[in-house]
Amino acid sequence: MPTENHNFAFANNPPIMTPPIDIPIELTTSSRLPEIDFSNLEFGKHTADHMLTVEYDNGVWQQPRIVPFGEIKLSPTSLVLHYAQTVFEGMKAFKMDDGKVSVFRMDKHYKRFLKSLERMCMPALPEDIFKEGIKALVKTDKAWIPNIEGGALYLRPFMIATEQRLGVKVSDKYLFMVVTSPVGPYYPKPLNMKIETEYVRAAEGGTGYAKCGGNYGASFLPTQLARQQGFDQVLWTDAKEHKYLDEAGTMNVMFVIDGVLTTPPLSTSILDGVTRDSILTLAPELGMTADERRITVEELESALSEGRVTEAFGAGTAAVVTPIQSISIRGNAYQLPEWNNDSFMVKVKNKLGDIRHGQEADAKGWNTVV
C-alpha cells in the first residue's frame, strides 16, 4: 500500500513536541458519577465524564484537549470505516494506599502503541501527548476510580483514520482519543477453554502482534461458536499447522508445567502483553523459573493427562490473572487442579496488586503517579 506524501515518524524515531504542553480542560456541567453503582460494575459499560482528543492533519498533531465525554462527528466515508485503520491500547489507573493515583507501566504501553501504529501505517503519536494527556485525563476523572476489590479506571487510548475518501489508501488525517471506564474484574469466575484447531486469528507476518481492530473482529465467530458449546474462550493455535499454542482470545496464556512457568514466545502473531511481561519479570522473585518456548498441542495434552500441569491461567490488562479450570482438546476436557494461596498465579497476582496500590516498593518504576 503506497505511503507517498506522508511524513511518518515511526517507533524507532517518535516525534517529540516542545515541552511543556498545555492541555485545555473543558469540565462537564453535569457529572454522571452519581448514577454509577460501583458495587455492580459491568466491564466497560460505563464511561467517565471526560475524554482526551487530538487531531492529526497535514503532517502535524494539533492541540490536545480534554472535553466532556460525548459523540464524535465522523463522515460515512471516513477511511477507518472501510479499511480498518484503527489501533488501541488497554491500560489501568489505580488508587494507591496513600490516596494518590498511579497509571501502570505507561512506558511499555506507549512503546507497544507505537508498534501497532507502525504496523497499520499510521503516524507516531508524540510521547508527551500520550503521557501528559493521559495523566491530565486521569487527574480530571480520578473520582471515577472504584474503591473495590480488583477495581481500576480502565484507560482506552485509540486512533482512527478520518480522511474522507472511498479509495483504498493510507489516510492523511487521524483522530487520537482516550476514554476511560470504571471497572471491576473482567472475568468474575475461572475459565473453561477450548483449543481452536480450525479457525485462525492471526498468522505469522500478519497483524497479530498489533492491537488493531481487525484482530478482534476475526476472533468473534469462533469465540461465539465456542461459547455456544459451553466454553468461555478459545486458545488459538498457529495458522499454518494448528500445532503450536499462541494465545487466548483476550489475553496471553501461561502454564506451570513440571514446576516451570511456561508460555509461548513472542512472535508476529502474539501480542506483547504488558501483564505477561510483568509476570515473567516478577517470577524469579517468587522462586519460579520461567521458560518462553513453543508449546505443542500434543505436549500440553500429554502433560495434562499425566497431571504435570499444576496451573493454567490467562494474563492481560483487563483479565489481570485469570485461572483456567479446564481445557478441551479435540473433544477431551482436562480439569486443572484447584489453586490456593500457595499457587504461583495467586502469589504473582497479589504481588502485582501490591505494587500497583503502593503496598510494595515500586523498585522497577512501573507506576506513574499522577
337 lies in the same domain as 234: yes
Cell of 70: 460525548
- In whole angstroms, what is the distance from residue 267 CA to residue 265 CA? 6
Listed residues 183, 205, 228: the one ending a domain = 183
The pLDDT tens digits of the residues spanning 251-287 come to: 999 999 999 999 999 999 999 999 999 999 999 999 9
Q: What is the pLDDT of residue 150?
A: 85
DSSP string, 38-101: TTSPPTTT---SEEEEEEEETTEE---EEEES------TTBTHHHH--EEE--EEEEE-TTS-E
Range of the domain at 318: 191-361
CATH of the domain at 318: 3.20.10.10
145 lies in the same domain as 203: no
Q: Kindly report whether the global pTM for this prediction surpasses the value 0.75.
A: yes
Write 300-308 long-range contacts (CB < 8 A, 24+): 300/195, 300/245, 300/255, 300/327, 300/329, 301/329, 301/332, 301/334, 303/255, 303/257, 303/258, 304/329, 304/334, 304/336, 305/334, 307/337, 308/257, 308/258
Listed residues 135, 161, 183: the one ending a domain = 183
Strand 260-263 to 320-329 pairing: unpaired
- Region class of 207: left (phi > 0), else alpha (psi between -120 and 50), else beta: alpha
Q: How much is the mean pLDDT over the chain?
A: 92
Q: Does the pLDDT value for residue 18 go beyond 50?
A: no
Using alpha carbons, select from 262, 268, 270, 258 the residue that is nearest to residue 316: 270
366 found inside a domain: no
DSSP string, 268-297: TTS---HHHHHHHHHGGGGT--EEE---BH
205 lies in the same domain as 176: no
Strand 245-248 to 233-237 pairing: antiparallel
37 lies in the same domain as 171: yes
Do 80 and 138 contact (CB within 8 A), yes or no? Answer: no
Secondary structure of residue 33 in the 3-state scheme? helix
Q: How many domains does the chain have?
A: 2
CATH of the domain at 66: 3.30.470.10
- In whole angstroms, what is the distance from residue 125 CA to residue 89 CA? 13
Listed residues 149, 183, 217: the one ending a domain = 183
Give the range among 10-14, 53-57, 181-185 with minimum mean pLDDT: 10-14
The pLDDT tens digits of the residues spanning 181-223 come to: 999 888 888 999 999 999 999 999 999 999 999 999 999 999 9
- In whole angstroms, what is the distance from residue 213 CA to residue 86 CA? 6
328 lies in the same domain as 196: yes
